[in-house]
A and B are shown apart, each in its own frame.
Chain A
Amino acid sequence: MAIKESIQSNFQTMKWSAWLGWQMESNWTNPFKFLVYTIARPIASSLILVVMYLIITGGITYTDQFHYIYVSNAFFMYVFWVLFGITWVIHDDREHFQTMKYIYISPSNYFSYMIGRSISKIIITTFSIFITLGFGVLFLDIPLSLTAVNWPLFLLVMVIGLLSLISFGLALAGVSFLTAKHSGGVNESIAGIFYLFCGVVFPVHILPVWAVVFSKILPITYWLELVRRSLNLGVGVDTALAGTSTETSLIILCVSTIIFTIIAFSIFFLGDHLARKKGLIDMTTAY
């Protein structure tokens, strides 16, 4: 009975914190402006790469390399927005809105609250990715065919990949419990490292040898490669990953996600414990 109540309570917390996250992201303006805002950023971000590609290749978009760049960059939005978004929740709640202490003294579980806030980030980012891919299909000849997609692999990879990203976010959130002035810098550094080393806008084999080795220990590298394979777009462009089978890539992604999830949860709970012990839950630094 107690377990059932606990599950129900945590589910309620997740549901309402996801709703809160959605409201915070969207109710600052009217729905039309919010729609424009949600569409403009990802499209512009993709078009930067499109123009960079087109000026060098002279307007050709039907190459595997172009599809590789476009799809990887679209899905990388999850990395940036989910990772950055989760961590910023700590900073925003504690410093800006000063509501963190009230959430702590409510019957809600703060971990469940964070998961709920992550879900709202994932939903908004999913919409942006959907728009970006749709734009690519309609205007840039991206040959995304729904019948050619390996749906079981795609769904499996998305679940594992998003779990991995939420874990990264929670680990950084754990660090953010204890810091104020470095949250932004640390988050952006991690996202920047993934952008550079995980084969987002160029194949990993272009990197120096030491960097290829580094990129092969990052789960995001395998996640993006598996997303490309499941969508059947940009496959085989990266010779550094072409030799790794889909099954092997999936196993590496699963194992690294499990290991990192354990580490990330530990970091989160340690940060939470230390923040309470040091009285940092209601810290305000005007930063």
Chain B
Amino acid sequence: MIFDDYEKPSWLMMNLRAVLGRAYPRVIGVNREPSWLFFETFLPLLTVAAYVYLYKALDAPSQYIGYVIVGGAMTAYWMNVLWHMAAQIFWEKEIGNLELYMIAPISRMAILGGMALGGMFTCTVRAVSTILVGVLLFNVTLSLPNPLMFIGIFIFTMIALYGMGMMFASLYMLWGRQAVHMSNLMTEPIYLVSGFWFPIKAFQADGILGASKGFWLGAAASLVPITLGLDGMRQCLFPGTNDGFLPLWVELIALMILSVIFMILAKLTLDYMEKLGKQEGRLTLRWQ
């Protein structure tokens, strides 16, 4: 019998294979459809360029052009989390893959982890391209006196952000068209409160919300990991500009804590929503 010869891999090996297997189509997709690389680099540049010209029209200090470029690059990750992590489960359900994931002898976290890894790869290609083209096009000077801090901020931003994406994915599991609209709803409002196009310390200015209200809005927005990640990266890349929300080390520790919290929440919500989905028979419901 063929099954007698089959040596069952360990639990860890099966899940590692699942991670790689789910990451593979995302990574290879960039090579299979090179036009996407063009669109993913070109599209954010159009918005970035528009905001750069807005700041130029307002005679803004030069670092604001750099802030826009970094913010524009980081939109790739937020859009990826919304559409290719959270809403992805909805699409998987629509095209019939979700039930295959459910019956496979692997952890659902491995599937989501694979999506996250593949997504991070494609987004990093896009973000680096956006920064490179933006810096060259608008003659922005970046400096990195503390590369270790930058790397630390970036890595923990990614872990926390994709942990949040995994949590959203489980919440989206039972939704129909709400998934698309929720992702839409979390685009511009999060761009606003997370300071994608300006430093969030701006909320504390007198002409906007004032010191106290502005601080608390920034603190609330920091629950979205990309808020502190963006602020930290800007502080690292534009040192001495005094536009940072919190000291860098505080932001790093906060991101570490958020990473742990979101990973735990992702696991808990995934288990709960899967159970609920099975009870209510909604895991295979399509075209809602």
Residues of A within 8 A of B (CB): 24, 28-29, 37, 40-42, 44-45, 47-49, 51-60, 65, 69, 96-97, 181-182, 184-185, 188-189, 192-193, 195-196, 200-203, 206-207, 286
Contact = CB atoms under 8 A, between A and B. Distances in A.
B285 to A, nearest CB: 14
B188 A41 contact: yes
B43 A56 contact: no
Nearest to A188: B43
B35 A56 contact: no
30 contacts: A29-B181, A41-B185, A41-B189, A42-B188, A45-B188, A49-B54, A51-B203, A52-B55, A52-B198, A55-B207, A55-B208, A56-B64, A58-B205, A58-B206, A59-B205, A59-B206, A59-B208, A65-B58, A97-B287, A181-B33, A184-B39, A185-B38, A189-B42, A192-B43, A192-B50, A201-B51, A202-B54, A203-B57, A206-B56, A206-B57
With a 10 A CB-CB cut-off, give which of B54, B56, B178, B205 has the most chain A CB atoms.
Answer: B54
A31 B241 CA distance: 46
B189 A40 contact: yes
Contact of B205 (A29, A45, A55): A55
Contacts of B205: 54-55, 58-59
A60 B43 contact: no
Interface string B108-152: 000000000000000000000000000000000000000000000
Contact of B54 (A37, A52, A58, A182): A52
B249 interface: no
B56 A202 contact: yes
Given A52-B198, A206-B53, A28 B189 contact: no
Contact of A52 (B43, B176, B181, B197): B197
Given A28-B178, A49-B54, A201-B54, A56 B60 contact: yes
Given A54-B205, A54-B208, 12 more contacts: A28-B177, A55-B198, A55-B207, A56-B64, A58-B206, A59-B205, A181-B35, A185-B39, A189-B46, A192-B46, A196-B46, A201-B51
Grouping DSSP codes into helix (H, G, I), strand (E, B) and loop, the B interface class, with mixed when no group exceeds half, is helix
Interface of B: 33, 35-36, 38-39, 42-43, 46-47, 49-51, 53-60, 64, 94-95, 176-178, 181, 184-185, 187-189, 191-192, 196-198, 202-203, 205-208, 287
A67 B38 CA distance: 35
